[in-house]
């Protein structure tokens, strides 16, 4: 909890503190106070005094992923970046090393159509064949609104989602939903399909008895007051 003087109080030991932050470019994070006071990401994350931290809009490419970002002292690091659009979108999830819970499974993407690293199977296919197998690394809850794997892979090609299952029967979904900033029909269809898939999968996971938390930027403006350009519209 942030105090009036700007300090952060220590959360109770029996709760999980979550922080979600659209940083609009990882490389610009250390340009701003208070992160310009820290010489590495580990110290910046420690400042939040949180158990689980999500960043959206990393705007990184594979060559930017170094030890400072991926190998942290106090946190497990999970990063998703675009497959083809370099320096675009991207999300990350940092989970504090703790004996209170452990990480069971991690998925890249929301549709289940991406191929598992080190395997020839997609997450969906792995779940189909190994649902009750302890070696299964898929989380489940896949939706039936997308049946074409090419569409599924296209939706997940921008590095917009990471899903983690914890041992406390909790699933964390970190996402940066499409915004359709160009206002064209194709992007709007893709945006709506992504959001539909996101919320349908949450419902499916809840039906499985899982607790689910969404962290991130949904990119939805319910009213004019939530829009950046509201003054020019009103």
Which residues are identified as catalytic? 176, 217
DSSP state letters, 207-221: HTT-EEEEEEE----
Given the structure tokens 């080190």, which residue do they identify? Answer: 118
Tallying the residues shown for the chain, one arrives at 234
**95, 51 Cβ separation under 8 angstroms:** yes
Rounded to 5 degrees, φ, ψ at 187 are: -65, -35
Answer for the pair 53, 74: CB distance below 8 angstroms, yes or no.
Answer: no
How far apart CA 25 and CA 202 sit, in angstroms, is 28
Rounded Cα gap, residues 28 and 36, in angstroms: 10
Structure tokens at 142: 């896949």
| 8 A C-beta contact, residue 60 and residue 94 | no
Dist. CA 209–CA 204, nearest whole Å:
9
């Amino acid at each position: 909890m942030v105090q009036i003087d700007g300090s952060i109080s220590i959360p109770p030991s029996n709760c999980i503190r979550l922080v979600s932050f659209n940083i609009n470019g990882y490389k610009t994070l250390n340009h701003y106070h208070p992160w310009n006071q820290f010489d590495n990401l580990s110290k910046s994350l420690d400042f939040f005094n949180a158990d689980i931290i999500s960043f959206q809009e990393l705007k990184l490419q594979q060559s930017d992923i170094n030890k400072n970002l991926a190998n942290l002292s106090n946190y497990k690091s999970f990063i998703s970046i675009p497959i083809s659009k370099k320096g675009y979108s991207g999300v990350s999830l940092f989970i504090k090393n703790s004996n209170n819970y452990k990480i069971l499974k991690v998925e890249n993407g929301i549709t289940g159509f991406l191929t598992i690293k080190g395997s020839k199977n997609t997450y969906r296919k792995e779940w189909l064949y190994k649902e009750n197998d302890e070696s299964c690394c898929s989380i489940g809850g896949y939706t039936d609104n997308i049946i074409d794997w090419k569409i599924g892979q296209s939706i997940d090609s921008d590095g917009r989602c990471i899903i983690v299952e914890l041992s406390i029967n909790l699933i964390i979904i970190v996402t940066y939903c499409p915004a359709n900033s160009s206002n064209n029909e194709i992007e709007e269809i893709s945006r709506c399909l992504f959001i539909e898939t996101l919320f349908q999968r949450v419902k499916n996971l809840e039906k499985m008895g899982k607790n689910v938390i969404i962290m991130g930027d949904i990119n939805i403006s319910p009213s004019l007051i939530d829009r950046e350009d509201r003054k020019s519209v009103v």
